[in-house]
Amino acid sequence: MRIATWNINGMQARLAFLLHWLRQRQPDVVGLQELKLVDEHFPYAELEAAGYRALAHGQKGWNGVAILSRQPARVTQRGLPGQEDFGARLLSAEIGGLTFTTIYCPNGKHVGHPDFPRKLAWLDAMIAHCAERCRPEQQIVLCGDFNLCPGALDSWDEERLRGTIFHTEEERARFQSLLRWGFKDAFREKFPAAQAFSWWDYRAGAFHQNHGLRIDLLLVSAPLLARVRSVEIDREYRKKKDGLIASDHAPVIADLS
């Protein structure tokens, strides 16, 4: 089974690019983020024609998450309870024995902005929700755009950026809470010393200079980690394909036995 997560930065802008990637990479289950459209405008038919059932939790112009799967899927949670004011940012489903959740964590803007403590509250609510609804011995995937760098290796310039948004002790403490609960960072488990990124700003040649951040994560429970054969940040799909413009995020892919 191949699972993946991808912030596509606009479904309407990226549908052809997404279909291109699905044809080339053939994932079985995908968590998508930042759809920027309502459910009524979601391209269910186009994705079904490509072989994927789709579940969506959208929002006009902002946010939005979806799950694509080859197997039948059943929604178990749409939206993070108590955090509705922050928009459509969480979707969970049961798929072929997996409990699969995709999230789009609030950005927080900067540490002095009112959205920053609200971001921390959202993370606290998400952690509590996962702990309440799941058990560490289950086969669980928690994936998405976490909008934080788990550690120093996950930033292109930790020394300069330490303490700024995505690099704060408060954000990283929430991430460590997920690890203490039982989640494993699949990429970091496979590559403990690798510096690799999943997001690069469109501006200032950041991608070509590799000035990026690793903020798109596949977290798995310990039983599922035992099934992970490989993990890859699909950097090729941060590049244009056949004239199609890429998202500013790369997909992250894991193959399971």
Per-residue pLDDT tens over the stretch 27-62: 999 999 999 999 999 999 999 999 999 999 999 999
Length of the chain equals 257
Is the dihedral angle over the CA atoms 4, 8, 12, 18 positive or is it negative? Answer: negative
Please report the pLDDT score of residue 38 as a whole number.
Answer: 98
CB 3 within 8 A of CB 17: no
**Domain total for the chain?**
1
| Arithmetic mean of pLDDT over the chain | 98
Q: What is the CATH number of the domain that holds 143?
A: 3.60.10.10
Q: Which residues are catalytic?
A: 104, 145
Q: What angle do CA 67, 147, 10 make, to 5 degrees?
A: 50
Burial class for 188, CB neighbours closer than 10 Å (0-12, 13-18, 19+): buried
**Range 65-94 average pLDDT:** 97
Is the dihedral angle over the CA atoms 31, 61, 154, 202 positive or is it negative? Answer: positive
Please report the pLDDT score of residue 147 as a whole number.
Answer: 98
Please report the pLDDT score of residue 202 as a whole number.
Answer: 96
pLDDT digits (tens, 9 = 90+) for 142-190: 999 999 999 999 999 999 999 999 999 999 999 999 999 999 999 999 9
Please report the pLDDT score of residue 224 as a whole number.
Answer: 98
Query: By residue range, what is the domain housing residue 141?
Result: 2-256
